[in-house]
Chains A and B, each alone.
Chain A
Amino acid sequence: MDELFGIPLPLLFGQLLLGLINGAFYAMLSLGLAVIFGLLNVINFTHGAQFMMGAFAAWMLLNWFGVNYWFALILVPIIIGATGIVLEKLMISRLYKLDHLYGLLLTFGIGLVIEGVFRNEFGSSGLPYRIPPELSGAWDLGFMFMPVYRGWVVVFAAAVCLATWLVIEKTSLGANLRAATENPALVQAFGINVPRMVTLTYGAGVALAALGGVLAAPIYSVNPQMGSNLIIVVFAVVVIGGMGSILGSVITGFGLGIVEGLTKVFYPEASATVIFVIMIIVLLARPAGLFGRTA
């Protein structure tokens, strides 16, 4: 039994693992988008650039300051999250009274600026970020070799998603957040500082993207375009899942990663497009998305 439908099992499991890893990034990024959208009503087009900034921040910390991966995992989300807070205070907060589309255009412009600056500074070719020694090597699982770092990414990303879900669904902070999503004016009337909550939420969403960037740095080469290519797929993931449910966007993210991995095995030509095709099918069958409420 080392073949399934004529596909060698190591190949199948290898692609499944790659799919899970992509899915982990889809899940983390769409989670951040959903959290931000829930409270700000802004689709954060800068999300891809902030993911890329996370990877670069980890690279800079290591190469310029000698800060290792484990500290980067903590420091980078804080640093990039702080830049997000500044961004929200200075620019995004001015647009809440306007049509939501302006938020999209503004964050798109900011993303262009960030990507352009990094391209000038670092060029378009990728920079290597080596896997931390504690996580290098591979496990022999009997049916395949599993690089330790890849297993770590999947487990860690799943844990982060779960933690985010717990904070939003099970804590009083999360309860305030959900209430402010439903009716900000009423929550403000209860004496909760909603504008500050909005700012911190944006920072947290950005921090999630940056954390994803740190995780991605040793797997993908660190380059200025790494975010923009990913973010469009994540938009499709968000449309498929619907942004109404936190758990929904996590499940959709991982699920679509796996589907993409399987497509690479069975019909490689379609692997770049399969998520978009699924988006079309979902829109035709269930326009609100798999986990969405009708808009």
Chain B
Amino acid sequence: MASETTATGIVAIPEPTSDGSLWGFSRPQRIAFIVLLVFLGVAPFAGLYPVFLMKLLCFGLFACAFNLLIGYVGLLSFGHAAYFGMGGYIAGHTAKVMGVPPELAIILGGVVGAALGAVFGWVAIRRQGIYFAMITLALSQLVYFVCVQAPFTGGEDGIQAIPRGKLFGIIDLSPDLSMYWVVATVFVIGFLLVHRIVHSPFGMVMKAIKENEPRATSLGYRTDDYKLLAFILSAGLAGVAGATKSLVFGIATLTDVHWSMSGEVVLMTLVGGLGTVFGPLVGAAVIVTMQNYLAEWGAWVTVIQGGIFVACVLAFRRGIVGEIGALLRVKL
């Protein structure tokens, strides 16, 4: 551990680790996390539709996975729809055609997302910065065209009527509330996993790479290995999120692998706050809510989303949670 702390000397603001905090949660973060858990427990009984909450949580997990890369390693992947959408297709196909139980379908979606991420990450980390973004975007477009043509994805129709199945073969998930608890559990596990990764010695090296890659290299870290592993973890979690979403809605379509979905997850994370713990979830909540309310406005949604992009980049780079954190002088 001692050698790891030396390595983190690169990071501008060292994380407080010695206050006995659980899993690296600082005090304000612990409070926020408890608030989140209470919200998740109460929300479906407080007049919020479980399906809406589930959609929000799926995108929240997707954004958390994306944030792991952009917020902590500084890698902008512009092709995360590939892992999200492919996770959805795999879960849909295995659950519908092969009759796999839901828990296994979700895990398979994550595994395939991670495997795809391993291959694409291995190709993409050869270039940095803007090139990395362009390469990941091009690779996800490759996945999109494969999904248009491949027989198992159903092409333009997608996979429809995916059964939610029975959890562990016992609990029927067709009632929305039962499914909600599964989705909430998946989200909390994913959320804690991201947090654990970020606050592990591995996560410290990730941040070191973000701050100053040549220096991390000179300290003896194989930065490419760290970047690749972070990419695989992020892609795997994105796959889990996509798999869960396809089980919730019973469909897996080309929308989820399209580049505009990659743009949406970037927007969610940016709105919530890059590199914040709770930002991706807040950003996902804002964007999903907005899409719900503006659904009948058609293409104006695209215009508004673009406008939010512009506003965030020009004036609001810390995002909602980042701004609140700066106001309260805490890291959230």
Residues of A within 8 A of B (CB): 37, 43, 91, 94-95, 98, 100-102, 104-106, 108-117, 119-120, 228, 232-233, 235-236, 238-239, 269, 272-273, 276-277, 279-280, 283-284, 287, 295
B188 within 8 A of A: no
**Chain A min CB distance to B260 (Å):** 8
> In whole angstroms, what is the CA distance A287 to B127 when docked?
7
B277 within 8 A of A: no
> In whole angstroms, what is the CA distance A37 to B130 when docked?
10
Q: How does the 8 Å CB contact mask read for B116-152 relative to A, with 1 for contact and 0 for none?
A: 0000000110111111011101110110011011000
| Interface pair A106/B129, CB less than 8 Å apart | no
The one of A91, A98, A235 in contact with B310, judged by C-beta atoms closer than 8 angstroms, is A91
> In whole angstroms, what is the CA distance A43 to B131 when docked?
9
How many of chain B's residues have a CB under 8 angstroms from any CB in A? 42
Of all A-B residue pairs in the complex, the 6 with the closest CB atoms, nearest first, are A109-B309, A112-B306, A116-B302, A113-B306, A116-B303, A276-B142
**Chain A min CB distance to B15 (Å):** 22
* CB contact under 8 A between A239 and B138, given known A272-B145, A295-B127: yes
| Interface pair A43/B134, CB less than 8 Å apart | yes
* CB contact under 8 A between A109 and B127, given known A232-B137, A235-B137: no
> In whole angstroms, what is the CA distance A178 to B131 when docked?
21
| Chain A residue with Cβ nearest B138 | A236
| Interface pair B141/A276, CB less than 8 Å apart | yes
Interface centre among B78, B134, B305, B317 (most CB of A within 10 A): B134
The one of B131, B263, B306, B307 in contact with A295, judged by C-beta atoms closer than 8 angstroms, is B131
* CB contact under 8 A between A101 and B142, given known A109-B309, A110-B306, A295-B128: no
A-B contact pairs, 28 of them (CB 8 A): A43-B134, A102-B313, A104-B130, A105-B266, A106-B309, A109-B308, A112-B302, A112-B303, A112-B309, A113-B306, A113-B310, A116-B305, A119-B302, A120-B299, A120-B300, A235-B138, A236-B134, A236-B141, A239-B134, A269-B149, A272-B145, A273-B142, A283-B124, A283-B126, A283-B127, A283-B135, A284-B126, A295-B129
